[in-house]
Amino acid sequence: FGFRTIRDGGAWRCDARSSRFNRSATIWVRRPVSRKTAMANQVITPIRTTAVHLEESLGPEATVVVFETSDCAPCTQLAEHLEALASEFGERLRVVRVVDAAEGWVAARYHLAYVPTISFYCGPSETARIRGNPGKEALWAHALFILGEAPVPEPAEGPRHTLVGAFRTAKR
């Protein structure tokens, strides 16, 4: 791997390039904040990565993983809700955006049929899943649930795009 870290517009960006897999990933981390700034004013942005680096992003804390593609309209509408979610819950909840969900092996590995697909993880295990862009209220309800601060939320779905079925195995 080749890594380089640069500061871009107040945020730290780490670009990783793998010559073996011919893949690259850009991981954004939160903007540095001075000690005088209150925790509530801290801006934390979602981590944007590829599925190759997803396992590294999952940790023991609660994590929201969003599988999306670049040409998906509901995915772009969901982006502002994810930034608000990351800022609201701060260090208690990690938000990860996987940008290569249309690749066949990613869809097969994570059982994706639609984008955006929002998976909620507590540690290494998935506890809930939402297909599509359900809106801010459903995202908050599910986030509070995996943090243990709310009861089980109602099932939610929203506008979504169907992935091409090329990743599915042929019928025998």
Tell whether the model's pLDDT for residue 39 goes beyond 80: no
pLDDT band with cut points at 50, 70 and 90 for residue 3: very low
Tell whether the model's pLDDT for residue 116 goes beyond 90: yes
Tell whether the model's pLDDT for residue 27 goes beyond 90: no
Percent of the chain scored above 90 by pLDDT? 29
pLDDT, position 70: 84
Tell whether the model's pLDDT for residue 132 goes beyond 60: yes
Q: What whole-number distance in Å separates Cα of residue 163 and Cα of residue 161?
A: 6
pTM greater than 0.85? no
Tell whether the model's pLDDT for residue 158 goes beyond 60: yes
pLDDT, position 81: 93
pLDDT band with cut points at 50, 70 and 90 for residue 43: low
Tell whether the model's pLDDT for residue 133 goes beyond 90: yes
Q: In Å, how far are 12, 89, 120, 128, 143 from 147, measured between CA atoms?
A: 27, 10, 10, 12, 6
Region 165-170 average pLDDT: 51
138-146 — which CB contacts under 8 Å span 24+ positions?
Answer: 139/64, 139/81, 139/82, 139/85, 140/85, 140/88, 142/118, 143/62, 143/64, 143/85, 143/89, 143/93, 145/120, 146/62, 146/64, 146/93, 146/120, 146/121, 146/122
Tell whether the model's pLDDT for residue 14 goes beyond 50: no
